[in-house]
A = this chain, B = another copy of it.
Amino acid sequence: MTSPQTDTNAQQTVRVELGTRSYDIAIGRGLLYQAGEKIANLLPKARVAIITDETVAGLHLQALQASLDAADVDHVSFTIPAGESSKRFELFDRLCDDVLGARLERGDAIVALGGGVVGDLSGFVAASVRRGMKFIQIPTTLLAQVDSSVGGKTGINSRHGKNLVGAFYQPALVLADTAVLDTLPLRDFRAGYAEVAKYGLLGDEPFFAWLEANWQAVFAGGPERDEAVARSCQAKADVVAADEFEGGRRALLNLGHTFGHALESAVAYATERLVHGEGVSIGMMLAHEFSQKLGLLSEDDVARVKRHLLEVGLPIRIQDIPGQMPPADTLLDIIAQDKKVSRGELTFILTRKIGESFVEKGVDRAQVQEFLKEKLDA
């Protein structure tokens, strides 16, 4: 893993190395105000269609538009309703039509201003209009900055499940303005932080130790926040560069996600009960406890993970989710139906040590069932 580069005005840049599709992630406070200049430099003469949601539009759209105006970048804006339900066919259709109606060409750019929903939907639009326009991400949530805006997964939901229709499509540039995160509700910041901690847990113990020492400054918004975002992006970029289309190593990014997705599904994605990052936090805790149960991981490491997730205020037990949860058998069925299950085998990301996770295929269904029963009865 290489270190992110710091440039003179306290911005950091992470390079995602994907041959001709390589791109930069710029990280720093106030980047939104430099968006126009950066886009004009990267794509001279390109026109821009901003896609954002109603919440983010109220907070940040004017700043972005003013920055584009100042750089003489011609732009139009399309605003969608906030929330997961916008990741659907009708809006994909409408946005493709809107972008074509604005007469944007293949060399022009879609700019996604928002969280994961806006980024995923806009990215699929950018991938599909004229078989691929330029795509720029300006993620406005911590989750989007450290996860969904890096790696090129775009898409929408189907009635059969989440993210089942989409494209692998890389952006030309990602601008992660860490000051924008000050407008996030604490719960959302904390949920995004679960993915930050994940990078330490899955492959970088020193980063996890750094987070244990510095998490308060990350939450407060000091230079440590930029550092945490940059190291997370770098970690994801390294994995994506090694496995763009998710054939192998990229699966490690799913640490905590097999259990987490099942929990999200069990509450029918009711975000007032559980948001994605909270599911990942509980899922990571379960993955470590399951690894311990299998004799892979020490009790000390489990305790250390638990301590850190608790101190930042993240949930760590299925019982932390408000309301009734289904029994172990039902959770297991949900896990078995997950799209990441290949031909009925259960695949889990397990770990031998903090920072040493690995992909385990063909995990015994009965052992998972027994483990879940124990946890639910605890």
Q: Which of A141-189 contact B (CB under 8 A)?
A: 153-155, 158-161, 163-168
Contacts of A168 in B (CB 8 A): 131-132
Query: Is A128's CB under 8 angstroms from B343's CB?
Result: no
Question: Which of A93, A153, A154, A161 has the largest number of chain B CB atoms within 10 A?
Answer: A93
Q: Distance (Å) between the CB of A157 and the closest chain B CB? A: 11
Closest beta carbon of chain B to A46's beta carbon, Å: 11
A172 shortest CB reach to chain B, Å: 14
Chain B residues whose C-beta falls within 8 Å of the C-beta of A131 in the assembled complex? 153-155, 163, 166-168
Instruction: For A160, list chain B residues within 8 Å (CB).
Output: 97, 100-101
How far is A45 from B159 in the complex, measured between Cα atoms in Å?
26
Residues of B contacting A154 with CB < 8 Å? 131
* B245–A128 CB distance below 8 A: no
Q: Answer yes or no: A78 CB below 8 A from chain B CBs.
A: no
- The CA of A339 and the CA of B130, in the complex, are separated in Å by 9
A204 CB–B CB distance under 8 Å: no
A55 in the interface (beta carbon within 8 A): no
Instruction: Kindly list chain B residues whose C-beta atoms are within 8 Å of the C-beta of A163.
Output: 131
Residue of B nearest to A163 (CB): B131
A210 interface contact, C-beta 8 A: no
Nearest B residue to A342 via CB reads: B105
Q: Is the CB of A127 within 8 A of B159?
A: no
Residue of B nearest to A101 (CB): B160
Chain A positions within 8 Å of B, measured between CB atoms, are: 45, 89, 93, 96-97, 100-101, 105, 107, 124, 127-132, 153-155, 158-161, 163-168, 245, 339, 342-343
Show 12 residue pairs from A and B whose CB-CB distance is below 8 angstroms, ordered by the A residue. A93-B93, A96-B158, A100-B164, A107-B342, A127-B167, A128-B155, A129-B164, A130-B339, A131-B153, A131-B163, A132-B168, A132-B245
